[in-house]
Structure 1
Amino acid sequence: MAGATPRHGLARALSKRGVCSRTQATEWIRAGRVSVDGRIVRDPEFPTVAGRHRIAVDGRDIDAPTQRLHLMLNKPRGLVTTARDERDRDTVYRCFDGAGLPWVAPVGRLDKASEGLLLFSNDPAWAARITDPGTGPDKRYHVQVDRLPDAAMLATLQAGLEIEGERFHAKSASVLRSGERTAWLDIVLDEGRNRQIRRMLAALDIDVLRLVRVAIGPLELGALAKGAWRALTDDEVAALGG
């Protein structure tokens, strides 16, 4: 019926509210930690309707007012951006060990081999504005490559490449510094598709030696130590996504 409030499975309802990941929600539900209207529910697909059903985890109502967190992390190389990895690899959540934080989800991603600025939040609406491909902020990367670039290569990155039926381009690409055999590039993207920079450079037969995200919109990584994190200021939160 038009205008009907959508139903969501219990695990999805928890993840949509920014309480935890869907995988984590499924584990909590099966462990008997989640109740609906005061009754323990162990079915992750149990149908719920926002505003109609009271959902609680360990007795705490998930719709009770909670502090919204907006964090930045200097992601080290070698960590995967997920809450739990099926191959038992170290994840970015290792950096928050012992902090006593409520659940925060990654806002966007960096692949295992990449490093630098990664955002986290328990504010789904804010996260959606950051990751929106049409209106989200630009992302700046410093990329070390295995050769000395020329003007034609930089122009191709900006003009765009057709890769497996998709069109990829950089908003800007320039040389930061060059050595005898390698160089660092400054690349800005106004879109954020999976492994975009690596795929573009691979299409030009160029290997990436290091890839560091150094800024998202006006927010810069700055001097934040590798593996360290901090909360964003109110001004930073507003500047990124309101």
Structure 2
Amino acid sequence: MKQVRKGRNFAGKRQAEAPGGKRVTLPRALSKLGFCSRTQAEEMIAAGRVTLGGRVVTDPGTWVDLSHAAIAVDGKTVVAEQPVYLMLNKPRGLVTTRHDPEGRPTVFDCLKNMDHAHLSPVGRLDKASEGLLLFTNDTEFAQSLLDPETHVSKTYHVQIDNIADQDTMEALMRGVRQDDEFLKAKSARMLREGGKNSWVEIELDEGRNRQIRRMLEAVNIACLRLVRVAIGNLVLGDLEKGAVRALTDDEVDNLRRLSGMK
């Protein structure tokens, strides 16, 4: 059944609803309500912090009906967050985490004027990388985009320290071995070249740690800049560096279809 989403503003809450009385496990219920991840929910349940109908529940396998379940954490009733879907043009130099033990600026500094208590980044871009980064409180949506089995593509524009040639592009598409992993680009093509460097477009349909930088290292090429410009058919466009905007209904629905969500 298609999920009903009303006016995607940056914040807001609605009472938990589950058309048709869908039954899910308690950790899944907390995740679907946008309260936390399933792993975090399991930890809170095991610690005796979660009640169901006023009774403490410590079994994460407990089934609940979201159409009328009364769930509380630490004595506070859990209500479903209004689904929020944001895109950020991440500047270089920010780390993709909420709190950094080293005190470095984080991507959440770009959201400081918003209520982002329950928002999480969808995947990550490393400190030196830039471009399109999604945030949401819809954990199922995030998991579907990150699931390697859905193969939702991510497109990057990459500046390298030499003049790209077709042999290099074909080598990246055939795949390289780096750190005992086989890494492969879905597509790679030259964009433009300067005197001593060039820009290439690389599309991935898997999400390995620092994958593009490692692939380039394997063919003796240094990455000078890395900008993610698209996730599926959602493009960064002309969003200014450090700026945030809400996704439209059509953009969210398109990403849902690409990731196999109903």
Tell me the TM-score normalized by structure 2: 0.75
Unaligned runs of 5+ residues in structure 2 are 1-23, 258-262
How far 1:160 sits from its partner (Å)?
A: 0.4
Candidates 45, 55, 64, aligned match of 1:51: 64
Shift of 1:132: 1.5
2-structure distance, mates of 1:24, 1:169 = 33
Report which stretch shifted further, 130-139 or 71-80: 130-139
1:225 aligns with 2:240: yes
Separation (CA, whole Å) in 1 of partners of 2:151 and 2:109: 27
2:122 to 107, 113, 127: 107
Corresponding residue SS for 2:64: coil
Moved more, 137-146 or 87-96: 87-96
Question: Which residue in the other structure is 2:179 paired with?
Answer: 164
List gaps (5 residues or longer) in structure 1. none
Is 2:206 the counterpart of 1:186? no
Shift of 1:15: 6.5
Q: CA deviation at 1:57?
A: 5.3
Question: Greater shift after overlay, 188-197 or 133-142?
Answer: 133-142
Sort the Cα spacing of 1:76 and 1:20 in 2 relative to 1 into closer, same or farther, 3 A: farther
- Contact 1:144-1:182 at 8 Å conserved across structures: yes
Q: CA deviation at 1:136?
A: 3.6
Aligned to 1:84: 99
Q: Is the 8 A contact 1:20 1:105 kept in 2?
A: no
Structure 1 partner of 2:153: 138
Taking only the aligned residue pairs, the percentage that are identical comes to 53
User: 1:74 is paired with a residue of what secondary structure?
Assistant: strand
- Does the C-alpha gap of structure 1 residues 96 and 22 become closer, same or farther in structure 2, counting only changes over 3 Å? farther
Return the alpha-carbon distance in structure 1 between the equivalents of residues 170 and 141 of structure 2.
34
Q: How many angstroms does 1:109 deviate by?
A: 1.1
The structure-2 alpha-carbon separation of the partners of 1:219 and 1:6, relative to structure 1 and needing over 3 Å to count, comes to closer
Deviations 1:174-226 (A, max 9, x none): 11110000101111111111100000001111111100000001100001111
Cα displacement (A) at 1:51: 2.7
- Check whether the contact 2:35–2:80 (CA below 8 A) recurs between aligned residues: no
* Alpha-carbon contact 1:138-1:189 (below 8 Å) kept: yes
1:204 equivalenced with 2:201 (yes/no): no
Contact 2:81–2:137 (8 Å) recurs in 1: no
TM-score (structure 1 length as normaliser) = 0.81
Q: Distance in 2 between matches of 1:23 and 1:130?
A: 18
Q: Aligned runs of 1:7-156 on 2, under 5 Å?
A: 18-20=34-36, 36=51, 48=60, 49=62, 51=64, 55-56=71-72, 60-62=76-78, 64-156=79-171
The answer to whether the 8 Å contact 1:71/1:230 transfers is yes
Matches of 1:51 and 1:82, distance apart in 2: 32
Partners of 1:209 and 1:166 lie apart in 2 by: 23
Q: Which amino acid aligns with 1:163?
A: Q
CA contact (8 A) 1:129 1:136 kept: no
CA distance 1:23–1:92, shift in 2 (3 Å): farther
Q: Is 1:236 paired with 2:227?
A: no
After superposing the two structures, state which structure 1 stretch, 87-96 or 111-120, moved more: 87-96
CA 1:78/1:55 → structure 2, altered by over 3 Å: closer, same or farther? farther
Cα deviation for residue 17 of structure 1 reads 5.3
Give, in whole Å, the separation in 2 of the partners of 1:86 and 1:17: 29
Relative distance call for 1:89 and 1:15 in structure 2 (3 A) is farther
Q: Do the aligned residues in 2 keep the contact of 1:18 with 1:105 (CA within 8 Å)?
A: no
2:191 corresponding residue in structure 1: 176
